[in-house]
Structure 1
Amino acid sequence: MSYDLYIGDRLFSSWSLRGWLMFEKFDIPYTEHMLGLYAGTLKTDMADLAPAKTVPAMKTPAGYVLSDSISMAETLAEENPSKGLWPTDAGARALARNLVAEMHSSFGALRGCDMQLSHVWDGFEPSEAVLTDLARIEFLWGMARDKYGANGPWLFGEYSLADVFYAPVAMRITGYGLPVSDMAQAYVNAHLADPAFLKWREMALQETHDPFPYEKNLPRKPWPVN
């Protein structure tokens, strides 16, 4: 039994990273399909994947198409109950679902800091709105870590869908050098050192983009390597 996963360019597509981690981190068999998100062919590439119109998308072994990361996550958890996508503790699971839902629907200012995995922008000045988003995210991370994170580096100790959804946040914090607490930075570092993410970034760096889609008038620093 295998799924089909449809993603866009690894260097920039934060939602594609989430979709890929759902399979990679929980050892769920899949066949990957790269679509032309930045090549301008996305609409054509997705013509046979209705209702999906954005990446990531997936097709289940039964042939059903899922077109949103939350619907993908819930379907994978439902169809693969032994894989532990959500925390087993009921309280942790409820909080994890809250964190995922808030990530999916909120933090518009931070999302304006487009994810890129090439380098760190040196001297980026976050807006008050971005800092407000970061403060809320730190509150949520701290709550999860304090209540349920004693047994590992992830939000609920062991890796879960909550970590999948906040992985691109960790990359935005890194790529823009955003100011966070020691607690938050430790969590970011866990993502940076994660073998699955390192595999993703290694593949991402093989992509070429000219011009660079999200150019800033700022110097560049090397991406941190853990």
Structure 2
Amino acid sequence: MKLIIGNKAYSSWSLRGWLACRQSGLLFEEMVVPLYDQEWDQRREGDEFAPSSGKVPILWDDDAVVWDSLAIIEYLADKVGREKFWPEDNAARAMARSMAAEMHSSFAPLRREHGMNIRQVYPPKRPSDEVIADLTRIMELWAQARARFGGDGDFLFGTFGAADIMFAPVCTRIVTYSLPVARFATGYVEAVLNHPFMQDWIAAAQEEEWVIEKFEQPATG
């Protein structure tokens, strides 16, 4: 398998796809492509990017190609067993899938005003009302998952899985922008960021030489 991703410092969707590959336990080749450099437009027109219209992440598995992070999670779950990604309990699995899908399709203000930048930590600044609404909803989801299905584990449904993968970039944003979160959420954020896969990603992001100025600014809200 070959996974093509963008800069580890900035690309939140790449992080999700990469975490999914690590969670699968399968061997894969990793190809990091600098976003928005001088060769970006030409590169994304190449055959490897054609199925996704130039977007990352994109996973090649022989002749099979999968783009979109949630699709990558589902593809890998089919290959290695769904228990690697989703809870076994039917009610927990239903909730985990719903949360992953909502993260996939929602929270546009948080994404827009607080882009992922793993290498920075900015002073606290009151978020916009729209971002506060997003954070409130995320806190509600996390609290419900932890209360109903978290048990003694550190993650949303006890053990690390697809829902945590989808929310991992939110955890980085909370730290980067010193965003206000519920007290219970602090422990969850720390658990995600301290997960061995996340530690590997963060270390690699710190070593990157590429800098994209538009992503090196404090919150825009």
TM-score using structure 2 length: 0.91
Aligned to 1:155, the other structure's residue is in SS state coil
User: Structure 1: which 5+ runs fail to align?
Assistant: 219-226
Task: Point out the more displaced range, 101-110 or 51-60.
Answer: 51-60
State the distance in 1 between where 2:204 and 2:96 align.
Answer: 29
Give CA-to-partner distance per residue, 1:96-151, whole Å, 9 cap, x none: 11001000000001102000011211132210100000000011111111111013
Between structures 1 and 2, the one with greater helix share:
2
1:11 partnered with 2:12: no
1:29 is aligned to 2:30: no
Tell me the amino acid that sits aligned with residue 22 of structure 1: A
Is the Cα contact below 8 Å between 1:6 and 1:32 reproduced in 2? yes
> Do the aligned residues in 2 keep the contact of 1:35 with 1:41 (CA within 8 Å)?
no
d(CA) in 2 for partners of 1:138 and 1:123?
18
What's the RMSD between the two structures over aligned residues?
1.7
Query: Which residue in 2 is equivalent to 1:208?
Result: 209
Match of 1:59 in 2: 60
Matches of 2:36 and 2:152 in 1, distance apart? 40
Aligned to 1:198: 199
Residues 1:130 and 2:128 are matched in the alignment: no
Amino acid at match of 1:28: L
Q: Which aligned pairs between 1:1-226 and structure 2 lie closer than 5 A? A: 3-46=1-44, 47-49=46-48, 50-52=50-52, 53-61=54-62, 63-81=63-81, 84-112=84-112, 113-210=114-211, 212-216=213-217
1:23-42 Cα distance to aligned partner (Å, 9 max, x none): 11331211111123132434
Instruction: Tell me the SS of whatever aligns to 2:208.
Output: coil
| 1:216 positional shift | 2.7
Partner of 1:188, secondary structure, is: helix
Distance 2:212 2:22 in 1: 30
Q: 4+ runs of 1 displaced by more than 4 Å? A: none
Distance in structure 1 (CA, Å) of the matches to 2:24 and 2:143: 24
Aligned length: 215
Contact 2:24/2:80, CA 8 A, preserved across alignment: no
Overall identity of the aligned pairs, in %: 38
Gaps of 5+ in 2: none
Give secondary structure in 2 for the equivalent of 1:38: coil
**Counterpart AA for 1:117:** I
For residue 66 of structure 1, report the CA deviation from its aligned partner: 1.0
Distance in structure 2 (CA, Å) of the matches to 1:186 and 1:210:
30
How high is the TM-score relative to the length of structure 1? Answer: 0.89
| Letter paired with 1:184 | A
More deviation, 161-170/186-195:
186-195
